[in-house]
Structure 1
Amino acid sequence: MGPPRERPRVGWLDALRGIAALVVVLDHSSYAFLPQFRQELMPEFNTSRYGIMVFFLVSGYIIPASLERGGSVRTFWIGRLFRVYPLWAVAVTALPALHALDLARIRPDLAQQPPATVAAAHLTMFQELLGTPNLLLVLWTLSYEMAFYLLTVALFTVGRHHRSATVAVTLAVLAAAGVAAGVTLPPSALSHALGTGPLVAIASITMATAVWCACTGRPVLRTAGGVLGGLLALVLVTGNGTVPVWEGLTILAVMFLGTAIHRAEHGQVTWRSTACATAVVLLCAVASAHAHGDGRQFTERGWLTAFLLAVLTFAAGWALRHRRTPRWLMVLGAISYSVYLLHPVMLAVTDATIGRSARDDVVLEAAFVAVLLPLSWLTHRYVETPPQRWGRALSRRLRSRGEPADDPGSTVTTDLPAGGAR
């Protein structure tokens, strides 16, 4: 018996997630096992940016749909909590445990901040935007995911969630205008101005308040919480990131562009407006990268190649969404979050034990992936999947008690999975 009719549409997202995860693994593991290959490739093609831009497009496509399908901010945050945090908790606790056993290495700059500050910053998942070093090198992208969640909820609570194309264009234009005007901020500018500890405390309290208020049944509090969370996200992205402001805004623009494509597909907006928004976002991103490139830490060619190929990859996946996806790609996509979070833990172990290769060693690279994939399958099955079931059960219980939708008119019909991009 063939798969249900909607599965190919789910399959293309799985395929994109799986491909993106493997490319990110290649990027990070190449430091240890393929240093010469990396040195030649990076100026031409920034593999890390390619993988995360594909992830961001997928997140933008599905996350708002997940919120609007349920029509409840509380249900949305429950889903995010049970989807994202369990494996995250395992990964971020595994590394210190392995470090204590002298089997892995932790970044030395983490010791420069109080443990309570580091823990609080990571619990919000905003550590990248709070001047705190990431315990795992991939966690910086989750900070932008969290900012997107808060902005998505903010738009939903004020009834502007269908304006995804407008939001994408606005963010992209602001990014390009800032570069053109020479507006620059040092990395973690707010942290230097206020102090990392106070900023982490302020952001943590603000975020907790915003989420709590947005999850209440009172319209005024819900709207106030949504707006507060959205403002927090914008302030941190523009004032305290470690990537340039233009790139932080471009990341958000790309995610909202993914949302606009989903809306056009479901008839909520016109394809013409979405095409115009896509053109503006791409043009602004190219212009921003061209103006910012310095040929050293940031190479214009490498970033642009990665960015444009990520957009083309997403477009190809969307165009082929009705075709059957190879099962191995669907499995790889299903375990992609485990692949994404576990590979830096494994790299910390290999750095502390066997060290890094002076020359390219394809055998070690292949062995690394061969261990990573089965381990990721195990954590997906036993760490990720059970909490997702618990989260869905909790949401069903809340609905059975008569919890009303925050905006019943916003619910969309979609066959996409509730799990989201990760």
Structure 2
Amino acid sequence: MQFLDALRGVAVLLVVLSHFGEGHSEFLRDLISSTFQFGQAGVSLFFLISGHIIPRSINGASSLGVFWGHRIMRLYPIYWVSIAVAVLMSAAGVFDLPKGAGSVDVLVNLTMLQGFVGVSNLIGVFWSLKFEMAFYALMTIFVFLGWNRWPSRIYAAWTTCILVIALASVLTPRLFPYGLFHVELMLLGWLLGEWHSGKGSVDSKTAFLGVLAGLVVATLCAYATFGVRIAAGVKGWPTFLPMVTAWISAMVVFMAALIFSNRMRAPGWLARIGVISYSIYLLHCLALPLLAWLAGKVDWMLAAVVCLFITVVVSEMTYRFVEKPAIDFGRKLLARRTESTVQVTPHAR
């Protein structure tokens, strides 16, 4: 699945470009605010990739408990490390936590559920993890109910619902809760993953119609959120055009990657960036104070390259010494529990 790792690499580099550039480059800041939201495109790619991978993971697991065990060991250890580093940097006066954040906020953030209870994210990029968790919960429900065999029906039902909500938002006008669209992206990733595997119930026509529906939904949801905001006189950022171009481009790039995945080989370095992309995603914001300091002494592009290099090196280390050991430990632990269950069950009968 090297092409998925390469896509992750593209996604995380888009996010880093957005966060490193918007504070120091007037050109990038204007481009991001007026034409193309790089960070949102990157996160949208992550959502599509999750939609591709998670259904396979949950369907391939021996039980829902095993699936969640793997997910916990995959997501939480490096996430907790990023929180610890952010708190230590804040105590040293070199990183700003959200205003008023205290020990309770830190404890709630440790659960990764802060987005559901109205607690501020200690690091800005944590916001997307809420939607990842929501998708895991949805897939768990689908498997429990036996609906995981019907990705096209579920995608069609979800798409129809948010189209209705978005249209109602435009006509009311009320701001559309565009987090619903993030789940749409993951469901589209699921649909396209079933098509790409060639083993599911999704044919080429259904996949094409799914992408077409996604493009329509992206446009309407972006307008229902940001166009309505402008029409209502609500000032702020982001705006319609940079968001809709980001969402649409992510879908087009993802579809193109699936189509050409067997015909082109992704660069090894980009695939490696993808392998360690979760660490890069969580940790690159912690390099922003260093970037601000360096940008005051040298050209910001050079400062950004230095900070990216440091982030990649640190992320390689955290992947090797935090992420991978945690993943391997989780696999061994869950494999032992599964073997134990298999051995005990016949005697119990």
Q: Secondary structure at the match of 2:271?
A: helix
In structure 1, what is the Cα distance between the partners aligned to 2:27 and 2:297? 8
In structure 2, the residue corresponding to 1:110 is in which secondary structure?
Answer: coil
Selected match of 1:291 from 224, 242, 248:
224
Give matches, 1:13-412, under 5 Å: 13-111=4-102, 115-116=103-104, 118-182=105-169, 245-264=176-195, 265-271=197-203, 272-292=205-225, 293=227, 294=229, 296-322=236-262, 323-348=264-289, 350-351=291-292, 354=293, 361-402=300-341
Answer whether contact 1:44 1:301 (CA < 8 A) is retained: yes
Q: Secondary structure at the match of 1:138?
A: helix
Overall identity of the aligned pairs, in %: 28
User: Unpaired runs of 5+ in structure 1?
Assistant: 1-9, 187-243, 405-422
The structure where helix makes up a greater share of residues is: 2
1:280 partner letter: A
Aligned residues of 1:173 and 1:281 also touching (Cα < 8 A): no
Alpha-carbon distance, 1:393 to partner = 0.4
Report which structure shows greater RCO (CA 8 Å, sep ≥6). 1
Q: 1:125-172, CA deviations, whole angstroms, 9 ceiling, x for partnerless residues?
A: 222232111101100000100000000101001100122222223223
| Preserved CA contact (<8 Å) 1:20 1:52 | yes
- Residue aligning to 2:347: none
Q: Secondary structure at the match of 1:54?
A: helix
Contact kept, 8 Å, 2:70 with 2:327, in 1: the verdict is yes
Instruction: State how far apart, in whole Å, the 2-side matches of 1:82 and 1:88 are.
Output: 10
**Quick check: 1:34–1:365 contact (8 Å CA) kept in 2?**
no
1:295-333: CA deviation from partner (whole Å, max 9, x where unpaired): 542322111111111111111211222233221112111
Flag the 1:98–1:41 CA change in 2: closer, same or farther, 3 A: closer
1:383-405 superposed Cα distances (whole Å, 9 cap, x missing partner): 1110110011012112212359x
3-state SS, counterpart of residue 131 of structure 1: coil
3-state SS of the aligned residue for 2:149? coil
Compute the TM-score of the two structures, normalised by the length of structure 2: 0.88
Q: Secondary structure of 2:323's match?
A: helix
- From the superposition, tell whether residues 36 and 29 of structure 1 become closer, same or farther in structure 2 (CA, over 3 Å): same
RMSD: 2.4
Q: Cα–Cα, structure 1 residues 401 and 338, in superposed 2: closer, same or farther, change >3 Å?
A: same
How many residue pairs align between the two structures?
A: 332
What amino acid maps onto 2:165 in structure 1?
G
Unaligned residue ranges in structure 2 (runs of 5+) = 231-235, 344-349
Asked if 2 retains the 8 angstrom alpha-carbon contact of 1:35 and 1:357, the reply is: no
What CA deviation, in whole Å up to 9, does each residue of 1:237-280 have, x standing for no partner? xxxxxxx6442111101101111112223332131333323322
- SS of corresponding position for 2:124: coil
Residues 375 and 359 from structure 1, CA distance in 2 versus in 1: closer, same or farther, beyond 3 angstroms?
closer
Whole-angstrom distance in 2 between the partners of 1:358 and 1:131: 39
| Structure-2 separation of matches of 1:26 and 1:286 | 24
How many angstroms does 1:70 deviate by?
Answer: 1.6
